Structure 1
Amino acid sequence: MSETEFLDLAESTLTTIESTLDRLNDEDVIDVECKRSGNVLEIEFIDNGSKIIVNSQAPMQELWVAAKSGGFHFKRVGADWINTRDGSELFAALSQLASAQGGAQITL
């Protein structure tokens, strides 16, 4: 995949995560605030002040996630972003992380 293709895909993925969490916030499912700065998405859980950071790493062609439970790297495999260590999928992993940190069961 070219760098341009990666950047477009990463941008689309970050936008999807942000818009989904904004919608869940608007529906009062979870109290969260999302902030974007370039290739970095900061997700703050208002009730406890904890954060999840998702950012793209173009040189590695990976998305990196930093959460209370640790750091994770996801590489594109077919149509999915797959954790380079345990094989989990990005949206499933983020759903678990956000549910744990936000105190409400959510699905991205």
Structure 2
Amino acid sequence: MTDPEFMDRAEAVLRAIESCCDRINEETDVDIDNQRVGGMITLTFRNRSQIIVNLQKPLHEIWLAAKSGGYHYKFDSKEWRDTKDMGEFFANLSRSATAQAGQPLQFRG
């Protein structure tokens, strides 16, 4: 994958996260504060826990840091997969956000 291809795909992920936060905030009382600075989004929950998603352009990876741990994702021609257990990015983000918010949350691309 070229750098421009990575940035197009990775930026789409960040936009999807922002859009999901807006939808979650409109449909629930979770109130996720999402702040984006360049290639990084910080999601802050009411309990002050955070999830951080950032782009690692040189590696063509997206990194996710949550209370459950740190994860690295590479695009496999279909979706973003964890480099260790091959879990899908949005499924893992949903699981981490659910745990930190204390109620079911769904993120999707």
Give the SS at the match of 2:103.
coil
Structure 1 position 25 matched with structure 2 position 40: no
By how many angstroms is 1:86 displaced?
A: 0.5
Give the SS at the match of 1:18.
helix
1:40-95: CA deviation from partner (whole Å, max 9, x where unpaired): 0000002x000000011010000000011110000000210000000100000000
Match of 1:64 in 2: 63
Match of 1:73 in 2: 72
Match of 1:86 in 2: 85
TM-score (norm 2): 0.94
Match of 1:106 in 2: 105
Please tell me whether the aligned partners of residues 75 and 81 of structure 1 are also in contact (alpha carbons under 8 angstroms). yes
State how many pairs are aligned: 107
TM-score (norm 1): 0.95
Structure 1 position 52 matched with structure 2 position 51: yes
Match of 1:39 in 2: 39
Structure 1 Cα separation of the partners of residues 60 and 23 of structure 2: 28
User: Tell me, which stretches of 5 or more residues in structure 1 are unaligned?
Assistant: none
- Identity of matched residues, %: 45
User: Tell me, which stretches of 5 or more residues in structure 2 are unaligned?
Assistant: none
Tell me which stretches of 4 or more aligned residues in structure 1 moved more than 2 Å: none
Aligned alpha-carbon RMSD (Å): 0.9
